[in-house]
A and B are shown apart, each in its own frame.
Chain A
Amino acid sequence: MAAITIPRATHGRAFRLRRLRGNILFALALLPFVVFALFPVYWMFITTFKQVNDLYNLQDNPLTFNLAPTLEQVTYLFQQTNYATWAVNTVEVGAVVVAITLFVCIPAAYVLARMRFPGSTSLGIGIFLTYLVPPTLLFLPLSQIMVGLGLINTKWALAVVYPTFTIPFCTWLLMGFFKSIPREITEAARVDGCSRFGALFRVVLPVSVPGLLTIVIFAFTLVMQEYVYGLTFVSASDQKLITLGVVTDLIRGDIFYWGSLMAGALIVAIPVAFVYNLFMDTFVRGITGGSLK
């Protein structure tokens, strides 16, 4: 017995050593990525709570608090700017964009993924090509249209424009999802007594909930994060959405309200990070869905 157990023990130790070395190498490989990703976020975080004098201090270690942390900058954000209004605007515009996107994309993606009628392929291509039109090309004519619609310099201009991004992308995304649902299920529903519409609403949509959620998230984060169109179409402070408001109203000429800027950004980023982590896998599957089978 002893003769057998001893070699096994040494083998075990060598094995453990090798594994330990592997783990250390692994951690060393991962570390730069974590630092690269985390450092700017940490920097934003600490900037948020630093006193202004601490920010512009060339003597001491900038990575820690050299003066007592303060909520001054956060308070400033909420009391001296329209931050709350921007947040409300973002939610309102987000809801409208999500609604338009769903209303337009669901039916289009369904028939383009499932049906063949004269011109169906070209229509699908046409919708998708929209994604390629450079935004800079559209700014000027679009702003004229917004003037015509009486929406210029209001948040609703953005609610009307953002779907031009979300529609091509989300149609594409949903097409992949719908493709992966067996055709026979909708046919069974139609034989069971559903119209074509009925089959879509009673069977296809309930099965596609992850795909629909992905779209909602995509549309909403786009509204939360978009900057360039906002910059072009909206200048009234009380009409801005959150990102634009933070980036424009907290930089006055050469003066940057660093702490408040970072605070405003982090308040947006944290919920988004949370939601993304929940839905990342579905999102990725949505984008790549059609190409992986």
Chain B
Amino acid sequence: MATVRLEHIYKKFGDVIAVNDLSLEIRDEEFLVLVGPSGCGKTTALRMVAGLEEQTSGDIFIGDRLVNDVPPKDRDIAMVFQNYALYPHMDVTDNLSFGLKLWHVVRDEIKRRIEDAARMLGIDRLLQRKPRELSGGQRQRVALGRAIVREPKVFLMDEPLSNLDAKLRVQTRADLLKLHQRVKTTTIYVTHDQVEAMTMGDRIAVMRDGLLQQLDTPEGLYASPANLFVAGFIGSPPMNFFRGTVRQVDGQTMVDTGSVRVPLPPRVAGGAARAALGREVVYGIRPEDIEAQNGTGGWPVRANIEVVEYLGNEVQVHANVQGVTFVARLSPRAGARVGEDLPLSLHTERAHVFDAKTEDAISG
């Protein structure tokens, strides 16, 4: 078990800066998810921790050990690859024991670990098969098994679920979490899927264009996104954004889009609000923070319903208030009908405000 510490890591490929001044500490026993859109440098960061790629500058520590010059084989890590990378010429047993033999683990111990891992992953009946005789899900399990039996200090996983179908993905996600609760090995998990990140991570590091945007717990990311990018990235359907100017109206600080006015959330009141007066901002509110009016507070608006999508337990409507369009998640009983007007209330106390220029969150 170990912490992993990245300090001011840069990685350049020619002119491309794949990772830009990344500093990150993964705590002992933590499950940290590295998430971000395609090409943002997640894989590169993970490969540098593994030693498969050398950082242009910066330091990486595993435990207390500086591993900058240490080749992958001596870092005591295990990695699960997106395409599994099983050794095609070996059967499952040999795939699992390959690393152990190289580490000179004694034979009985190898046997014990393989049996344990195989039972845990439900692959005990596949041990004599070659990788090409396995289904995608089974291969994925063998790849996980290969990492588990090593009992390394750190697990590194690069989108290990992305080649599975949706149902298997959900199930394996749960299995992985259970596994982590049992073995408690420090894990860095890379994905581009924010749902996967939110459900799995103890903490989540959001990256974009090689830059770390925010490092926080799932709750923290959801409740207080540090900037516009994170706010838009986390949550599905994504947060609604409107551009506007901060104004003093009837003694209250409001965001004015030109046609619609909404109050600033209480968090942004006071000094921050005064400082923001007259500035261009982006006002964000999540679709789930909009309800049909039922008299229990919220900021009332009359919206024209343009599209209604029934999802069974809820409906997602695309609504229009005087030219400002947004998505809302409503109860099926709210009675939304295409073309009709519907009174909605916005829970503006849970809204977010971002500086339009810097895109950083404004808070008091």
Residues of A with Cβ closer than 8 Å to B?
Answer: 182, 184-185, 187-195, 198, 202-203, 206-207
Q: Are B87 and A203 in contact (CB under 8 A)?
A: yes
Q: Are B88 and A191 in contact (CB under 8 A)?
A: no
Q: Are A191 and B89 in contact (CB under 8 A)?
A: no
Q: Which of A182, A184, A187, A193 contacts B99 (CB 8 A)?
A: A193
Contact stretch, chosen from B71-79, B121-129, B330-338: B71-79
With A184-B83, A188-B81 already in contact, 10 other A-B pairs whose C-beta atoms are closer than 8 Å: A187-B50, A187-B72, A190-B71, A190-B73, A191-B78, A192-B73, A192-B102, A195-B71, A207-B87, A207-B88
B98 within 8 A of A: yes
For window 95-127 of B, CB contacts with A under 8 Å fall at 98-99, 102-103
Contacts of A198 in B (CB 8 A): 73, 102
Q: Are B98 and A185 in contact (CB under 8 A)?
A: no
B85 within 8 A of A: yes
8 cross-chain CB contacts under 8 A: A185-B86, A188-B87, A190-B51, A191-B51, A192-B102, A193-B99, A202-B98, A207-B88
Q: Which of B51, B77, B87, B156 contacts A185 (CB 8 A)?
A: B87
Given A187-B52, A188-B79, is A193 in contact with B73 using a C-beta cutoff of 8 Å? yes
B139 within 8 A of A: no
Contacts of A185 in B (CB 8 A): 85-88
Q: Are B79 and A191 in contact (CB under 8 A)?
A: yes
Given A189-B98, A207-B89, is A195 in contact with B83 using a C-beta cutoff of 8 Å? no
Q: Are A206 and B73 in contact (CB under 8 A)?
A: no
Output the nearest chain A residue to B156 by Cβ-Cβ distance: A191
Q: Are B87 and A191 in contact (CB under 8 A)?
A: no
Q: Are A194 and B81 in contact (CB under 8 A)?
A: no
Which A-B residue pairs are the 7 nearest by beta carbons? A192-B99, A193-B102, A184-B85, A188-B85, A190-B72, A184-B81, A206-B89
In the complex, A36→B331 CA distance in Å? 81
Secondary structure dominating the interface of A: helix
B192 within 8 A of A: no
Output the nearest chain A residue to B104 by Cβ-Cβ distance: A193
Contacts of A191 in B (CB 8 A): 50-52, 72-73, 75, 77-79, 99, 156
Contacts of B50 in A (CB 8 A): 187, 191
Output the nearest chain B residue to A205 by Cβ-Cβ distance: B89
In the complex, A191→B155 CA distance in Å? 11
Output the nearest chain B residue to A187 by Cβ-Cβ distance: B52
B146 within 8 A of A: yes
B247 within 8 A of A: no
Given A187-B52, A189-B98, is A195 in contact with B73 using a C-beta cutoff of 8 Å? yes
Contacts of B78 in A (CB 8 A): 191-192
In the complex, A189→B87 CA distance in Å? 8
Q: Which of A182, A202, A206 contacts B85 (CB 8 A)?
A: A182
Task: Annotate B34-76 by CB proximity to A: 1 below 8 A, 0 otherwise.
Answer: 0000000000000000111000000000000000000111010
B150 within 8 A of A: yes
Contacts of A192 in B (CB 8 A): 73, 78, 98-99, 102, 146, 150
Q: Are B83 and A182 in contact (CB under 8 A)?
A: yes
Nearest chain A CB to B54 CB, angstrom units: 12
Contacts of A194 in B (CB 8 A): 73, 102
Output the nearest chain A residue to B101 by Cβ-Cβ distance: A193
Task: Annotate B138-157 by CB proximity to A: 1 below 8 A, 0 otherwise.
Answer: 00000000100010000010
Contacts of A203 in B (CB 8 A): 87, 89
Contacts of A187 in B (CB 8 A): 50, 52, 72, 79, 81, 85
In the complex, A192→B85 CA distance in Å? 12
In the complex, A194→B88 CA distance in Å? 17
Contacts of A189 in B (CB 8 A): 87, 98
Q: Which of B73, B77, B88, B156 has the most CB of A within 10 A?
A: B73
In the complex, A185→B71 CA distance in Å? 16
Contacts of A202 in B (CB 8 A): 98
Contacts of A193 in B (CB 8 A): 73, 99, 102-103
Contacts of B86 in A (CB 8 A): 185, 188
Contacts of A207 in B (CB 8 A): 87-89
Contacts of B150 in A (CB 8 A): 192
